[in-house]
Amino acid sequence: MAIKIEHLTHTYNPNTPFEKTALEDINIEIKDGEFVSIIGHTGSGKSTLIQMFNGLLKPTMGQVYIKGQDIHGENVDRKAVRQQVGLVFQYPEYQLFEMTVWEDVAFGPKNLGLNEEEIRERVAYALQAVGLGEEYYQKSPFELSGGQKRRVAIAGVLAMKPSILILDEPTAGLDPKGRDDLFNKLKEMHKGLGLTIVLISHSMEDVARYAQRMIVLYKGKVKYQGTPKEVFAHGDELEKIGLARPQIAYILETLKEKGMDIATDILTVEEAALQIKAYLLKRRDNNA
Amino acid sequence: MEHIIEAKDIVFEYYNYDENGEQKEAITALNHTSVSIKQGEFLVILGHNGSGKSTFAKQLNGILTPKSGTLFVKGIDATDPQNIWEIRKEVGMVFQNPDNQIVATVVEEDVAFGPENIGIPPKEIRKRVDEALETVNMLDYKRVSPNQLSGGQKQRIAIAGVIAMKPECIVFDESTAMLDPIGRRQVMATMKKLNKEYGITIVHITHYMEEAILADRIVVMEKGEVLLEGTPKNVFKEVETLKRIGLDVPAATYLMYLLNKEGFQFKSDVLTAEEVAQELWQ
């Protein structure tokens, strides 16, 4: 089990006029090697929750286990636990600061006290994982495009070799290709490196396409958990809590309303095209 | 219709400097870009990161000025730094991150910040603030602290702050990128209202193809140049060109594209679920 959260409640500014309960009785399990997505409206508690995953916040109540270890327990090497969890914040490119891409990614490993050889190996590994070739090594990170900068920042986290990678809105502001590239890289890392990935996203299209499982937060509580198909089946309720379904789901629903006999729990355009094709061919045969 | 913005042959370069402050290289962000925008138009600009769309948008209210070419905003020469305040009264701008645009601790004070700074009399400010908040449907929140608002609400406050300046044109530079689905919908609805009911010219930069459907016209930028230009129907039917330059098309358009690749012969310029249904029932 990569992450296990039990009866977690978190209150900001307790016993003050600004007291606010951000999370209430959260119970979550994320298995090793899973690709999980957390969705929820602004203020639903997503960002508070992911800060629990590496102990940046200490919950008011409840337990957080990383790889079976209670990270707030006594005699726990918190630093070692944190190294297992790589956290990529929103707009991570704002945290770039070195003169070159290479130096920026090397900053973390250097601080771990690794030798030159290991540092070089890790930086090369991380930059390769995010798809930045040698031609970028000596560039200033500030000369790069938004999508590239973000990949440098993610490489900086990967160079720490975490087994769990948590990303908060990694594709916000990226163009469709930048978004697809990044997701494909994440998918590769997930498969090839066996990383556990937890992703916060507002893009229902991306979540539907890439996540194995979803956790939906609403006002600090877990509203739904399940596969994308299961979660997106709650169409109207999702709308009520500030979310939506992938565009293709609305198209299929319209078609169904007009009398087309097709499944509406399809989440990608490619799948939908196959379904519709089958339907149209059948209709043609029946008419013939 | 009269043109509110006339950009001809604009060239803009970013410079990189080495440690000694010597210019190392120049990157051409806008390469002889010409775009004219009609008064009252709803224009969407698409393009991948680094295609020059934000750089173009920033010329429109004088945040950046072109190296060469001509740019007129309501007939005023925007390449002359002396006209910058004139230009900014005509063209307002809403950015990506709502948290970076809010300056005050109370919503109505935040909206009043702009008009105060250009010396509008207090009575008029009051009126403008209330009207602006009403326009974005946030009047009920006027005494609330912005940090209690959702992303979509904050972005609407930022919009109200711009409206209170009474600009004729508002540029939205990826203003929906950080919002959840509902927040995005709210901001899009606000944009549409400003355009249709108040006649404000809208320039919207986005990576969400579904939002671009609402435009009167789409301009697609690539390498600092205008690659495609036309109505959403005309632009989005170029599925392969758009994919090649790293963009996307709306789900409905892509669905038809895939079906046509399977041998069907549907119209390729379909944008909405309704239009899909109509095509399939032919």
Cβ contact, residue pair A280, B280, below 8 Å: yes
Domains of chain A, earliest start first: 3-244 (3.40.50.300), 246-288 (no CATH)
Alpha-carbon distances, residue A43 vs A39, A46, A126, A213, B116 (angstroms): 11, 7, 32, 21, 31
CATH number of B39-62+80-233: 3.40.50.300
**What's the token pair of residue A240?**
């009520």
What pLDDT does residue B1 have?
58
Distance between CA atoms of residues A135 and A132, nearest Å: 8
What pLDDT does residue B9 have?
95
Q: Tell me the Cα Rg of chain B.
A: 20
Specify the residue for token string 């229902």: A204
Specify the residue for token string 């940046």: A56
What pLDDT does residue B182 have?
86
What pLDDT does residue B205 have?
95
Over range A182-208, report the average pLDDT. Answer: 90
A189: confidence class by pLDDT, cuts 50, 70, 90: confident
Residue A124 or A147, more confident: A124
Q: Mean pLDDT, 10 residues at a time, over chain B (282 residues)?
A: 90 83 84 96 92 92 93 94 91 88 92 91 95 92 89 89 93 89 89 94 94 96 95 96 94 96 93 93 76
The shortest CB-CB distance from A272 to any of B50, B51, B255 is to B255
Concatenated DSSP letters for A218-285? ETTEEEEEE-HHHHHT-HHHHHHTT----HHHHHHHHHHHTT----S---SHHHHHHHHHHHHHHHHH
Site from B207, B249, B268 to mutate, A interface, most A CB atoms within 10 angstroms: B207
Q: Strand, coil or helix: what is A156?
A: helix
The shortest CB-CB distance from A251 to any of B151, B251, B264 is to B251
Interface of A with B (CB under 8 A): 40-43, 90-91, 140, 143, 145-147, 169, 172-179, 202, 204-205, 242-244, 246-248, 250-251, 253-255, 258, 260, 269-270, 272-273, 276-277, 280
The shortest CB-CB distance from A242 to any of B181, B251, B255 is to B181
DSSP B177: T
CA nearest A281 in B: which residue? Answer: B264
What pLDDT does residue B147 have?
84
CA nearest B246 in A: which residue? Answer: A177
Over range A69-84, report the average pLDDT. Answer: 88
Cβ contact, residue pair B277, A255, below 8 Å: yes
Give A222-280 pLDDT, tens digit per residue: 999 999 999 999 988 999 998 999 999 999 999 999 888 888 889 999 999 999 999 99
Question: Which H, E and C letters describe B116-127, residue by residue?
Answer: HHCCCCHHHHHH
A76: confidence class by pLDDT, cuts 50, 70, 90: confident
Site from B255, B262, B265, B266 to mutate, A interface, most A CB atoms within 10 angstroms: B255
Over range A200-213, report the average pLDDT. Answer: 92
The structural domains of chain B, with segments of one domain joined by +, span 39-62+80-233
CA nearest A148 in B: which residue? Answer: B49
